[in-house]
Structure 1
Amino acid sequence: MPCMNYLAHAYLSFEQPALITGNMIADFVKGQSRLAVYDPAIQAGIRIHRAIDTFTDQHPLTLHAKQYFRASSGLYSGVFVDLVYDHFLATDPEKFTAESLHSFARNVYSIIRKQEEALPPAFMKMFGYMEEYNWLYGYHYIEGIFRSMRGLVQRAKYLETDANIIYAVFMEHYEKLKACYQEFFPELQQYVEGLIREEIRQ
């Protein structure tokens, strides 16, 4: 299943359209030959997306956060951590207000729509739901997180649990998960800023 922290990937593209595009489509671009189809700046976004995923998945704070979801979602615990990280990013007053998040989301959707014919069809199918239901903005709200959790449970092949259970775990450990995000995200942002500097030098 693709990652679910799309807001983080878009935000960590720092308003650069090519990086946003690569960061958003990366899970749907498999193999070096398909990577080569895209402009170098989009390729950089794809590489940065993959580096973000690796850094996030292996970080001790993420491993700690996963433990809260392990009993209810097993191997899918990381997907739900991705999702709640996006919620805490969306509600982070140092990053967004509700108004600026709404504008940010619309800008991301516009960037993608302008080049949809060149992007992977499977991505565009998923993106249609993202845009229609405004996932990036919806992460700001508890109701939006529940809808995303319910959608994930419905799509997951090997997850036999109820979204209400996972949501209950989220609410029970809300402050502890938020603390993980607050300590983790500045480290991730610093890491990505370094990656982008390296890409510019190449």
Structure 2
Amino acid sequence: MNHLAHAYLSFRQPELITGNLIADFVKGRKNMELYSAGIQRGIRIHRAIDNFTDQHPVTGKAKLFFRPSCGLYSGVFTDLVYDHFLANDTARFTNDTLYSFAHYVYSQINERAAGLPPAFLEMFGYMQTYNWLYNYHTTDGISRSIRGVARRAKYLETDGNVVFAVFMEHYAALKTCYQEFFPELQTYVEGLLQMENR
């Protein structure tokens, strides 16, 4: 999953949010041990979310829309568009609550910035400046995100505008995939957290 989903599935727990967002920038057990137990828990939850998402048959179906143009990057773009649908999920956010949630997440990261990986902080600077978490809800925002990922993807030969066109062409079908998948993911994460709390 992408940034908004990882933050949302941290259930407003500050250390869980932090671990969930920095996880891709923390490699190896020794580096993980630099962080508090709560942040380590967030890192573990992030990895469990990614594994569940990658192996889920509905995600496999969503990836098929992107595969002809994106190949191995189809999963990256599926994760990204799931964030668009989450940001527009009226059962979870209104425009105002999405905006306030995004700023809550930024504030929690800023409070802990001193101990976080420099590469993450560089990316987070862009996230906060351009308010990615909030702007995922607009087609302009998700278009910019798709084009940004495509530009940075080392082995992707497809232009980001092509990827965005695929997204728009299959918008309804991808939204259905999100609607089938995300409640199952949330139930899974809630179960993991309950087990860790025992």
TM superposition score normalised by structure 2? 0.99
1:67 match: 64
State which of 8, 13, 16 in structure 1 corresponds to 2:10: 13
CA distance in 2, matches of 1:36, 1:160: 38
1:199 aligns with 2:190: no
State which of 126, 130, 138 in structure 2 corresponds to 1:129: 126
Runs of 4+ in structure 1 off by over 3 angstroms are: none
Q: Secondary structure at the match of 1:26?
A: helix
2:156 match: 159
1:33 match: 30
Letter in 1 for 2:149: L
Q: Deviations over 1:74-100 (max 9, x none)?
A: 100000000000000000000001110
TM superposition score normalised by structure 1? 0.97
1:98 aligns with 2:98: no
Gaps of 5+ in 1: none
1:188 aligns with 2:171: no
Gaps of 5+ in 2: none
CA distance in 2, matches of 1:194, 1:76: 29
| TM-superposed deviation, 1:164 | 1.2
1:145 aligns with 2:148: no
Letter in 1 for 2:60: L
| TM-superposed deviation, 1:200 | 1.1
RMSD: 0.7
Q: Secondary structure at the match of 2:154?
A: coil
State which of 109, 112, 127 in structure 2 corresponds to 1:112: 109
Q: Deviations over 1:14-71 (max 9, x none)?
A: 0000100000000000000111111111100000000000000010000000000001
| TM-superposed deviation, 1:167 | 0.7
CA distance in 2, matches of 1:26, 1:50: 7
1:56 aligns with 2:75: no
